Structure 1
Amino acid sequence: MTDLSYLDGNMLDGPLREVFAVDLSATTGRCDTCGMTGPMAGLHVYSHAPGLVGRCPACSGVM
C-alpha cells in the first residue's frame, strides 16, 4: 500500500455515533490479518476512498 495521509481512529466517532449509541473510540478490536489488538482510536483512517476505511496500524489490513 502506498503511503497516503491518514487520520486517527478518533475521527470515526461522529459517523459511528449515528449507528451506535455508545462511544466506540475506546473499544478494543483485533485485526484478522496480523492479530494485533488495540483501541479503535488507534486505527489509521483513510477518508479519500469512497467512504471511510479503517486500517490496522501494524499491517495495514482493513478493519
Structure 2
Amino acid sequence: MAARLEVSQSAIHNWLSGKTKIPMEYYQSIAKLCGIKLTEILPESWKITLGYEKDF
C-alpha cells in the first residue's frame, strides 16, 4: 500500500497506530485500493462536514 500511495511504510504504520492522522488527500486512494466506499473510512466529523450523513 505504501508504494501505491507513494508514501513510506513508516507513514502507513503511523496512520494505522494513530500516531499521525491520514492526510485528507489519501482517503480516496485508500478506499479504492481496499475496494471499499469512501464513506466507510472517513472520520465521522468529516462525513457531516462533507454532507455524507448517510452511507450511500
Greater relative CO (CA pairs within 8 A, separation 6+): 1
**TM-score, normalised on structure 2?**
0.26
Task: Kindly name which structure, 1 or 2, has the bigger radius of gyration based on alpha carbons.
Answer: 2
Higher percent of residues as helix:
2
Higher percent of residues as strand:
1
**TM-score, normalised on structure 1?**
0.25
